[in-house]
Structures are given as structure tokens and as C-alpha cells.
């Protein structure tokens, strides 16, 4: 009887993560043909279909989902055991998987991940950007990036930015045409660019001044789910926006965007890299944390600036 190999199981997990043979091939450094052949060979020996293939998409079958759920923890444990055994001699290698909010990877590319990639060429960096909050351990990530308030309490958190603010901003031309809000209630006369949340609703702007707290449910002209797209819509003069300040630093400096109601925009805990303190920390993740401390990212205005 043929014994299923570790490589085949790793291929199956990669295809399940990526929902793509080509994506799994890129992650594993193999050809798409080799990945497809490995999956087909395993399916033939198991006598069960693990994935449904159609043009441009791959989806797990029910049997495939159950199979992946059973093998994933075991393979992760084997991988951790191998890494622990080789920790004294191994340079960082393998795949560094990070889960981050949309838009953050672009902001961190130059100050952090560019230097990390140059310093550790044997590491494949895989950053998945999404708005939903996930269990990074259960979904196979080395670490996550989120605002401080969203980091689970049992995680180790490493500062990536100083405290931040959401700012109410608009273009000078928009304010000239529509007037400048002097109090949050004035926003009800404006068209806003809304943030579509992962649960489907529109984010209500949270404003605070002294002891007064307000949640603003505003008229929405356009709803978008990505902060860079919201910024672009505001820059086009389509409405007033509530945007994380780290996305609009240059536009504030140049005057392309003007902040209003600044006293109502209170700071909150900034971005954190977070990971579990209850499992082995891989060499690749430890190297990333050390680089963050070296660059002192959490102490500057944003990303060490």
C-alpha cells in the first residue's frame, strides 16, 4: 500500500489556503503542474475527490474540508517540531504568513517588509489583506496586524505605529461649495463616503469631545470597503470622509485634504503586530519582531518617520 507523503499533504493544505493551484505553486515554489499532479495522485489513492475544479476556480468538497481539518493540526505540529529541532542552526526560512487590514501592507512595504525581504531572502512573505477579524492561529498565520483595541488579550502585541486618529476630512473645493462643519451635527447636511464593514453594515463615525460621545449615522453618497478607495473618493470631491490619518499624511501636508472637527477626533491605540505566546515562535517571525524593534517603528509618527 502506498504511504501518503508529507509533501502531498503540504500541497493539499496550500491549495486549500489559496483556493488555487497556481497560488499554491507560487507559495511552495513548485510548478502548477506538479501541484495538480500531487493532488490528483493523493485523490486517486484515497479514492475521494478533495477539490472541485472549474475554469479559474478551485473549491474544497465536503470530504476535502473534513480531510484538511484533520491533517492541518498534525502537519503544523510536525512543522513546529522540525523548526524547534533546527532552531540553533537555521537561518529564517519558509513562508511568513501575515494577516492584515486592507491597505496596511502597502504602507508597511517600504519601511518594514522591503528590508525584511532583503535581509532574509530564504523567506517567502505571504500577506493576506482582509477586513474581517480572524483567529490567526487557527487559520495558519504566523502573526496578524490589527489596531490595538482589536488584538486578543492572550496575544503578544508589538507596536507598529504610535497612537492614531480617524480624521474628518474633505477637499478645500468641497468645503468651499458645501460649507465647513463646526459641530458634528453639521455633518448631517453633508454627503459622506461610507466604510462598508465586513458584516455588511456602514461604519458609524465615532466622535468624542471632552465628556460628549457621538455616533454619527450620516447620509452616505458612496460606500466602499477599502480605505485607499475612500480616500480617492474624498479627493475627487464626492463627499466628506472619516479616514485613518496614516493613509492621508501626504495629502494633509500638501493641503489636498483639510481636517475639520479636529477636537472631536480623539486618538486611539495604533497598529500592532500580534502572535500567540503559547506556541513556538519560528525563526522567521522572531526575525520580523527583532527588525521592528531595530527600526523602532512604534515610536515614530508612522512606521519610524
Q: Where are the domains of the chain?
A: 6-85, 96-155+270-297, 166-264
Residue 304 pLDDT greater than 80, yes or no: no
Q: What is the pLDDT of residue 241?
A: 96
Encode pLDDT of 141-191 as tens digits.
999 999 898 898 889 999 998 888 999 999 999 999 999 999 999 999 999
Q: For the residues 109-122, what does the mean pLDDT come to? A: 92
| Whether 23 contacts 56, CB under 8 Å | no
For residue 48, what pLDDT is reported?
A: 93
Counting runs of H as helices and runs of E as strands, what totals does the chain give?
Answer: 10, 14
Distance between CA atoms of residues 266 and 262, nearest Å: 8
Q: Name the CATH topology of 166-264.
A: D-Maltodextrin-Binding Protein; domain 2 (3.40.190)
- List the single range of 1-5, 19-23, 126-130, 283-287 with lowest mean pLDDT: 1-5
- 96-155+270-297 fold: D-Maltodextrin-Binding Protein; domain 2 (3.40.190)
Q: Assess whether the region 96-155+270-297 and the region 166-264 belong to the same CATH fold.
A: yes
- 6-85 belongs to which CATH class? mainly alpha
At 65, is the pLDDT very low, low, confident or very high (cuts 50, 70, 90)? Answer: very high
Torsion sign over Cα 244, 246, 252, 254: negative
Share of the chain above pLDDT 90, in %: 49
User: Mean pLDDT, to the nearest integer, of 43-69?
Assistant: 89
pLDDT on residue 167: 96
pLDDT tens per residue across span 10-26? 899 989 988 888 888 88
Q: CA–CA distance from 40 to each of 11, 23, 26, 67 (Å)?
A: 11, 17, 18, 15
In this structure, are strands 192-195 and 143-147 parallel, antiparallel, or unpaired?
unpaired
Helices 6-18, 32-46: crossing angle, 10 deg rounding: 110
- pLDDT band at residue 270 under the 50/70/90 scheme: confident
C-alpha cell at 251: 495629502
> Which cell numbers in the block locate residue 165?
486618529
Q: What is the mean pLDDT of residues 208-220?
A: 90
pLDDT of residue 288 exceeding 90: yes
* Mean pLDDT across the chain: 87
The pLDDT-based confidence of 300 (bands split at 50, 70, 90) is low
The β-bridge relationship of strands 94-100 and 143-147 is: parallel
The yes-or-no verdict on residue 202 having pLDDT over 60 is yes
| 86: confidence class by pLDDT, cuts 50, 70, 90 | low
Amino acid at each position: 500500500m502506498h504511504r501518503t507523503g508529507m509533501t502531498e499533504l503540504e500541497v493539499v493544505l496550500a491549495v486549500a489556503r489559496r483556493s488555487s493551484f497556481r497560488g499554491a505553486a507560487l507559495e511552495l515554489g513548485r510548478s502548477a503542474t506538479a501541484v495538480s499532479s500531487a493532488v490528483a495522485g493523493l485523490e486517486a489513492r484515497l479514492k475521494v475527490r478533495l477539490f472541485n475544479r472549474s475554469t479559474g476556480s478551485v473549491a474544497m468538497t465536503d470530504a476535502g474540508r473534513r480531510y484538511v481539518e484533520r491533517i492541518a493540526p498534525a502537519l503544523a505540529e510536525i512543522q513546529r517540531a522540525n523548526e524547534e529541532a533546527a532552531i540553533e542552526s537555521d537561518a529564517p526560512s519558509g513562508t511568513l504568513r501575515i494577516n492584515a487590514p486592507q491597505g496596511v501592507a502597502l504602507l508597511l512595504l517600504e519601511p518594514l517588509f522591503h528590508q525584511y525581504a532583503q535581509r532574509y531572502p530564504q523567506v517567502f512573505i505571504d500577506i493576506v489583506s482582509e477586513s474581517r477579524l480572524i483567529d490567526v492561529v487557527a487559520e495558519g498565520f504566523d502573526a496578524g496586524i490589527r489596531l490595538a483595541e482589536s488584538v486578543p488579550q492572550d496575544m503578544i502585541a508589538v507596536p507598529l505605529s504610535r497612537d492614531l486618529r480617524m480624521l474628518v476630512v474633505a477637499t478645500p473645493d468641497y468645503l468651499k461649495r458645501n460649507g465647513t462643519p463646526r459641530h458634528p451635527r453639521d455633518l448631517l447636511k453633508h454627503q459622506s463616503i461610507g466604510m462598508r464593514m465586513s458584516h455588511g453594515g456602514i461604519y458609524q463615525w465615532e466622535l468624542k469631545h471632552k465628556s460628549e460621545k457621538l455616533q454619527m449615522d450620516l447620509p452616505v453618497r458612496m460606500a466602499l470597503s477599502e480605505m485607499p478607495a475612500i480616500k480617492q473618493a474624498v479627493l475627487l470631491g464626492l463627499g466628506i470622509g472619516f479616514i485613518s490619518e496614516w493613509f492621508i499624511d501626504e495629502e494633509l501636508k500638501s493641503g489636498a485634504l483639510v481636517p475639520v472637527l479636529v477636537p472631536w477626533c480623539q486618538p486611539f491605540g495604533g497598529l500592532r503586530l500580534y502572535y500567540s505566546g503559547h506556541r513556538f515562535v519560528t525563526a522567521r517571525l522572531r526575525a520580523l519582531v527583532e527588525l521592528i524593534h531595530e527600526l523602532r517603528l512604534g515610536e515614530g509618527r508612522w512606521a519610524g518617520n
